[in-house]
């Protein structure tokens, strides 16, 4: 256990950051699950709203450092491809 005041403060900060990171990761995972469920249903309205919500969360996660920017871009690209296939927009 930490003995110095600053070390105790760092422990508190780390716990708080870990909690925020965990909440953000859970929120993102749940949104991706909802996106996959919408893909299975192939309802155009649900797909578009789920896609925009997923993009928003991915962008926020990348901006705040919960997810690497390249990882977020790759997710967005793959989800967009799947939505296009589901809607029949593929050329």
Give all strands (DSSP E) within the chain, no chain letters: none
Which residue bears the tokens 């299975």?
A: 40
Model confidence over 54-78: pLDDT tens digits?
Answer: 999 999 999 998 899 999 999 999 9
Residues 29, 35 contacting (CB under 8 angstroms): no
Model confidence over 13-29: pLDDT tens digits?
Answer: 999 999 999 999 999 99
Q: What is the four-CA torsion angle of 59, 63, 65, 70, rounded to 10 degrees?
A: 60
57 by Cβ neighbours in 10 Å (0-12 / 13-18 / 19+) ranks as: buried
pTM: 0.80
Give me the domains of the chain, ranges plus CATH numbers: 5-87 (1.20.58.110)
Residues 44, 84 contacting (CB under 8 angstroms): no
């Amino acid at each position: 256990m930490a003995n110095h005041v600053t070390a105790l403060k760092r422990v508190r900060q780390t716990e708080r950051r870990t909690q925020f990171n965990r909440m953000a990761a859970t929120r993102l995972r749940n949104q991706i699950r909802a996106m996959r469920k919408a893909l299975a249903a192939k309802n155009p309205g649900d797909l578009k709203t789920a896609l925009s919500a997923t993009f928003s969360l991915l962008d926020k996660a990348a901006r705040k450092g919960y997810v690497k920017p390249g990882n977020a871009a790759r997710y967005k690209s793959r989800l967009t491809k799947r939505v296009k296939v589901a809607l029949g927009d593929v050329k």
